Amino acid sequence: MNNLTKMKINRPASEVFEAFVDPAKIGSFWFSSSSERWEAGKMVTLRYDEYYAEVVVKITDIETNRKIVFEDEEGNTTTITLKEENPSTTIIVVNEDGFDEKDVEGLIDNKEGWVYMLTCLKAYIECGISTLRAALVK
Amino acid sequence: MNNLTKMKINRPASEVFEAFVDPAKIGSFWFSSSSERWEAGKMVTLRYDEYYAEVVVKITDIETNRKIVFEDEEGNTTTITLKEENPSTTIIVVNEDGFDEKDVEGLIDNKEGWVYMLTCLKAYIECGISTLRAALVK
C-alpha cells in the first residue's frame, strides 16, 4: 500500500529539486544533514541529529527538475515528482510505496512525516524560513 | 479510533490559544474564516473559501490558554490541549476521536489535515508567515 501527498509550492521546479539534492539545503526543512549530492546510483546517509537517528537511502532514479526516486532500508520506494504548472508554481507529489496495508499506525505516522516535511519545505523555499523542522513531538 | 498529533511551538500558550479563538487570526493558518470568537456553548461556522466548503462546529469546552474541545457535524470530538513548558514554549496536542477504525483512508486524510494546520500555525505565530495554508492538493 502507498501514501500519496501533494502540495502546491509557489516556486520553480528547479528550486524545489535543488532543495532535495543539494546537501547544503536539506537541513533547512527535513533531515539535519545529507552526506552528499543526490545522484542516481548513490547511497546517501541522512541524519536526524535531534533524534540520534540516521537512514541510508539508495537513489535509484533522477530526472533533473522532474523526478527523484529512492529506496530505504526497509524496502519502501519513494517517488518525488515535480510538475511545473507555470514558471513560478510547482506541484510536488510524494508517493511512498511498500506498506503492509494492515499497518495502519505505520501509514498514519508516515503521512505525518511527509506532510510536515512538505510544509517546512514550502516555508523554506517560499519564505526563507528554516526554523520549523524537528518540532513534531512523539 | 482517534488521531493524535503533537507539535512544539516556541511561543506562550496564550498566543496559541488566541490563534484559534480569535476569528481575526484563523485565516492566517487554517480555515479562511470563523464566524465568531470561540466560547463554550457556541456554534461556530468555519469556511474554506478556496474549497467552497464550510463546517459548523459546537464548542463544548474551553479553558483559557489550556484547552479547547469541539464537536463537528459528523459526531467527531476534537480536543486541543496546550501545555506550556516554559513562558516561550508550548506543546500543542490535537486529538480527534470518533473514527471507524476500518476507515483507514479517512484516518490518513485527517492526519494530513492536522499536521498541515499545525505546521502552518507554527509558521504563523513564530514567524508571522500567513501564506502557507490552502496548498494541499487533492
d(CA B7, CA B94) in angstroms, rounded, equals: 9
β-pairing, B77-86 vs A2-9, is unpaired
* Homologous superfamily in CATH for domain A2-127: START domain (3.30.530.20)
Whether B126 and B27 have beta carbons less than 8 Å apart is answered as no
d(CA B43, CA B77) in angstroms, rounded, equals: 14
Dump pLDDT digits (tens) for A56-66.
999 999 999 99
Positive or negative, the CA dihedral A59, A98, A104, B121 is: positive
Candidates A90, A132, A133, partner chain B, best to mutate (most B CBs within 10 A):
A132
Q: Which pLDDT does position A21 carry in this prediction?
A: 98
Q: In which band, very low, low, confident or very high, does the pLDDT at A75 lie, cut at 50, 70 and 90?
A: very high
Instruction: Output the average pLDDT for chain A.
Output: 97
- Closest in A7, A104, A131 to B135, CB measured: A7
Instruction: Report residue A81 as a C-alpha cell.
Output: 515528482
Whether B3 and B110 have beta carbons less than 8 Å apart is answered as yes
DSSP E strands, B33-132: 33-34, 43-48, 53-63, 67-71, 77-86, 89-97
Q: Which pLDDT does position B111 carry in this prediction?
A: 98
Q: Which pLDDT does position B135 carry in this prediction?
A: 97
Asked if the C-beta of B5 comes within 8 angstroms of chain A's C-beta atoms, the answer is yes
Q: In which band, very low, low, confident or very high, does the pLDDT at A35 lie, cut at 50, 70 and 90?
A: very high
Does the model's pTM come out above 0.90? yes
Rounded to 5°, the CA angle A36-A23-A31 comes to 105
Q: In which band, very low, low, confident or very high, does the pLDDT at A12 lie, cut at 50, 70 and 90?
A: very high
Positive or negative, the CA dihedral A10, A83, A133, B92 is: positive
d(CA A59, CA A70) in angstroms, rounded, equals: 4
Asked if the C-beta of A9 comes within 8 angstroms of chain B's C-beta atoms, the answer is yes
Q: Chain A residues with CB inside 8 Å of B108's CB?
A: 3, 107-108, 111
ipTM over 0.95: yes
- Closest in B91, B108, B129 to A111, CB measured: B108
Dump pLDDT digits (tens) for A81-124.
999 999 999 999 999 999 999 999 999 999 999 999 999 999 99
Q: What percent of chain A has pLDDT over 70?
A: 100
Residue ranges in chain B whose pLDDT is less than 70 = none
What's the alpha-carbon Rg for chain A, to the nearest Å? 14
d(CA A109, CA A127) in angstroms, rounded, equals: 27
Q: Which pLDDT does position A100 carry in this prediction?
A: 94
Dump pLDDT digits (tens) for B84-103.
999 999 999 999 999 999 99
Q: Which pLDDT does position A19 carry in this prediction?
A: 98
Q: Which pLDDT does position A119 carry in this prediction?
A: 98
**CA nearest to B102 within chain A:** A104
Q: Which pLDDT does position B15 carry in this prediction?
A: 98
Residues 6+ apart with CB under 8 A from A51: A134
Domain boundaries, chain B: 2-127
What's the alpha-carbon Rg for chain B, to the nearest Å? 14
Dump pLDDT digits (tens) for A48-57.
999 899 999 9
Instruction: Report residue B35 as a C-alpha cell.
Output: 464566524
